[in-house]
Amino acid sequence: MHQDIPKQFLHVQNKPVLIYTLEAFQNHPSIDGIVVVGLEGWLDIIWAYARQYNITKLKYVVVGGETGQESIRNGINMIKEHYADSDIVLIHDGTRPLISQDIISDNLAVQKKYGNAVVAIPCVEAVFESDDRISSQVNVQRDKLLRTQTPQTYPLHKLLWAHEERIQRNIQHAVATCDLMCFLGEKVYFSKGSEKNIKITTVEDIEIFRALLNTDKEQGLK
């Protein structure tokens, strides 16, 4: 985003983006504890913000790795020191601050039924495959496509197994937990997401986030 501080610490309406995310899990009755995997040099700031905004469920803050998957592994290695292998872990992007209580609840319900759950939404745009991002003659049938979000939720023992396999097999191109599980031959089950469950990646996303914070549902809409 070319800003002076990491995007998760940018303030929107006088509150860090990360705190919006943490508050969603703080407020959900099924969440017992939170582990944040953060940037080196920012861990004390995360603790300070947690105290300021009363994020009492924050239990541990650990430094991340060079990739997203290495960061997740650091997080679950911390969890295994304090929790049971059968405990359920929701992996969520700190920069998805509009995660709703309904999304968390449905995600947990699907995990309980099938053993795992990945938040996803339908793809409503026309989609093309392109090698050069300039032109294409190959379109992809959108009815078969889903866009994954987070949380992505598994028992702790399954996540530990997957990351051990990732290292053993030298899998380096998995961009998300569900991606890794597919590489390992695991079936993925989907829970309901939302277009509002945005991941803040660009300056434009900050503008969308701010607008959504100030928008109420139109009267008459279900």
Q: Which helix (H) or strand (E) holds 56?
A: none
Per-residue pLDDT at 221: 62
Distances (CA, A) of 16 to 7, 106, 206, 212: 9, 26, 12, 16
Per-residue pLDDT at 194: 97
Question: If you average pLDDT over residues 202-206, what whole number do you get?
Answer: 94
* pLDDT band (50, 70, 90) for residue 2: confident
* pLDDT band (50, 70, 90) for residue 4: confident
Pairing status of strand 190-192 against strand 117-122: parallel
Give 142-191 pLDDT, tens digit per residue.
999 999 999 999 999 999 999 999 999 999 999 999 999 999 999 999 99
Contact by Cβ (8 Å): 151, 107:
yes
Give 73-101 pLDDT, tens digit per residue.
999 999 999 999 999 999 999 999 999 99
Q: How many CB atoms lie within 10 A of CB 111?
A: 22
49 vs 94: CA distance, rounded Å = 14
Domain 7-204 falls under CATH 3.90.550.10: yes
Please determine, for residue 216, whether its predicted confidence score (pLDDT) is greater than 80.
no
The domain locations on the chain are 7-204
Q: Which helix (H) or strand (E) holds 45?
A: helix 43-52
